[in-house]
Structure formats: C-alpha cells, structure tokens
Amino acid sequence: MPRERTARAVIDTVTAATIGVLDLLLQRGTAPVVFAAVLVAAIAVRRTFPVASAALVTVTAFVQWLVIPQVGLLAADLAVPLAVHAVAAHGPRPLSRAMFTAGLVGAGLGATTWPPVPEADLQSHLLFGAALAALVLAGWALGALHRVREERIVALTERARLLEVERDQKALLAVTAERTRIAREMHDVVAHSLAVVISQADGGRYANSPEAAQQALATISETGRRAMSDTRHLLGLLRAEDSRAPQPGLADVSSLVAQARSDGLDVDLDLDPGLTLAPGLGLAVYRIVQEGLTNVVKHAGPAVRASVEIRCTPVELLVSVIDDGRGAAAGPGTTAPSTTASNASVIGGHGLVGIQERVAAYGGDVRAGPARAGGHELQARIPMLTP
C-alpha cells in the first residue's frame, strides 16, 4: 500500500525533526548538535531498523545523562518511548521485553535530572520519573497492540489465500467428478446401443429370409436414433452448466427391458411395481440393469435367455441380471462366436468399473462372474440405510 507507506514516512520524518529541534532548544553548546543528529537519524528509521534505532536512542540518552547532568528535560526522554514502541511493534519479542526494561531504568535515571535545581525534593523526582515510566509503558503497550494487529492481518490474509486455494481445488474436483459422471453415462448409452447394433447386424448377415434381415435393419436404425438422442442430451449437459434435465430411474427400468425385448432378447423382469427409490439410487439401479443387459447381448451367445431381478428388503437392495448363455461359462478351450469378447474384457471393462463406483458410493458391492446354474451373473447389493 504505497499511500500508507508514504504517510508513515512523513510521520517519522516530522517526529524525528521535532525531536532534533527540541534537543537543540533544551541544551546549549556544541554537544547538543551531535546528540540531535543521532536522535533524528535513529527516530527516522525506527520502523525499518527498529533494533538499530533503539540501540542508538538508548546509547544517546545514557551519554546525555552522563555528560549533561542536571539539565532538566531532554529530547531523549521523549525519544526512548518511541524507540520502545518501535521495538515492541516491529522487533523481536525478547528484545521488546528487554527494551521495555531498559526504558523503565532510563525513566529512573531521567528522574534525577528534574527539576534541574539542586534543592529539588524527592517527590518532584518521583513524579517526573513516574511520568517518564508512563510514557515508556504507553509506548510498549501501543507497540505490542500494533504487533498483534499486524500478525492478525497476516494470519487472516494467509487464511483467505488457503481458502481460495481450497475453493479452487474443490471446483477442480467437482469438474473432474462431473466429467467422469458424464463419461460414464456416455459409455452406458453408447456401449449398450452399439452392442445391440452389432448383434442385429451379425444376425442380419446370416438371416435366411428378407423379412428377418429387414427387421434387423429396422432395429439397428431405431437403436441408432435412440443413441443419438441420448448422446445429444449428454452433450447438452456439458454445454448448460445449470441444466437439471431428468435422468432415468427405477421407473424407466421396465422401458429398458421392453427395449431389450424389442431388440430380440428374451428377458424377464422381476420388479415390485410399488417400489420407490431416491433419484440417485434409482439412476444407479437403471445403469446396473443397462450394463447387465449390454453384457448379455455382447457376450452370452445366441438364443440366450436372461432375467432381471430387483428386490428390496429392510436390510439391502438386490439388483441382479442373470443369463443362461455361454459368455462367462465357456471354458478356457471353448471358442465363442465372433461377436463375443473374452471374459476378461467383461470383468475389466469400463462399464463394470462405473457400476462398481456407483454402488460403492452407497456402501454396496458388485459381483460379476459365472452364475451357479451356468451363464453369467451381474449382481449388486446395496445396504438400505433408512427404513
């Protein structure tokens, strides 16, 4: 703050000049000129070099007391409290206490010079010494308060800086989490749609009748349009930060299963129509079922039958997608059809990672692997924290 520094410099200059003039007026001879010059220099730099300033003032005051006895009030008597204030405000804490003690000692020595008459009584000396001690105490107290204020300002400034850094980090984490969420949603939409498209395209290649091939092409077209619509919706979320467009939930699971049936998958749904879940949990259930059906289409093989079960008890929510196909049940030497990926890709795919992240957010766990009766099973268990 340049304006504040300029004001302090002006104050220090005026104070130093005043001390110098007082020293010249209160004394006679050539020695006062030297003392005045030293005091002016010391007071002028008391903020920048508080220790050096205090040392010069202390030595000058003591020398004046020795060289010019019984002269009465000295300018050094006023310079000492200023030096005590400077050390208390800007100097090291131990030196601040030492300077305060030296100032009190100086007040006691200065009391012997007032009144400047040999017949002065003890009470006059004591009153003058008490006045000097009060000035020293006031200078030290005001300096200590100034130090506390400056330290508090520094602490508040640092705290504000740390809070700003923390806010920026939280914003960055929020952006990263949102990008991860949208990437996961994009994967769920695109992977499911592409799995259906690939399955129908492969089926259409080997269709024995034009009607079957035409039906496969129609399914591919419809699935592509749905994927395009969902992708545009997700991209819209990226463009509009305040968008609150509805997300799929538990109520949309039936439509998801119906789409799978229309795509040629034989799938059953076991879901209590009266079951209600929180929106976030409902979205997680929807994505679990979507990922399970996608894996059935991609890996279970032809003529597969699947079942979706969503069951809620007071203890936990169970979501499972089971098929009787050959995808996960195939042994190491079994050769799957060309549209089937290896079991390792099923287990390690990004879709399952996203499902695990969703379920883990609610304290649950996911199991993906061979089912007991054959085929493949994707099962998620989520504890119900509230009745």
Q: Which residues of the chain have pLDDT under 50?
A: 72, 241-243, 327-349, 386-387
Distance CA 207, CA 222 (A): 19
pLDDT digits (tens, 9 = 90+) for 307-329: 999 999 989 999 999 998 764 44
Number of structural domains found in the chain: 2
Query: Are 273 and 128 members of one domain?
Result: no
Query: Are 254 and 151 members of one domain?
Result: no
Of 163, 184, 219, the last residue of a domain is: 163
Query: Are 382 and 260 members of one domain?
Result: yes
Distance CA 178, CA 237 (A): 10
Global pTM reads 0.41
Whether residue 115 is preceded by a cis peptide bond, meaning omega within 30 degrees of 0, is yes
Of 131, 163, 195, the last residue of a domain is: 163
Of 119, 142, 163, the last residue of a domain is: 163
| pLDDT (0 to 100) of residue 31 | 52
Query: Are 364 and 258 members of one domain?
Result: yes
Domain with 23 in it: 2-163
Please provide the DSSP assignment of 193-221 as one string: HHHHHHHHHHHHHT-SSHHHHHHHHHHHH
| pLDDT (0 to 100) of residue 165 | 84
- C-beta separation of 26 from 71 below 8 A: yes
| pLDDT (0 to 100) of residue 14 | 60
Query: Are 156 and 22 members of one domain?
Result: yes
Query: Are 10 and 127 members of one domain?
Result: yes
In a domain, 265, yes or no: yes
In a domain, 87, yes or no: yes
In a domain, 200, yes or no: no
pLDDT digits (tens, 9 = 90+) for 128-149: 888 888 988 998 999 999 999 9
Query: Are 158 and 255 members of one domain?
Result: no
In a domain, 216, yes or no: no
Read off the CATH number of the domain in which 306 is found: 3.30.565.10
In a domain, 286, yes or no: yes
| pLDDT (0 to 100) of residue 344 | 33
Q: Could you tell me which of 332, 327, 334 has the C-alpha nearest to residue 368?
A: 327
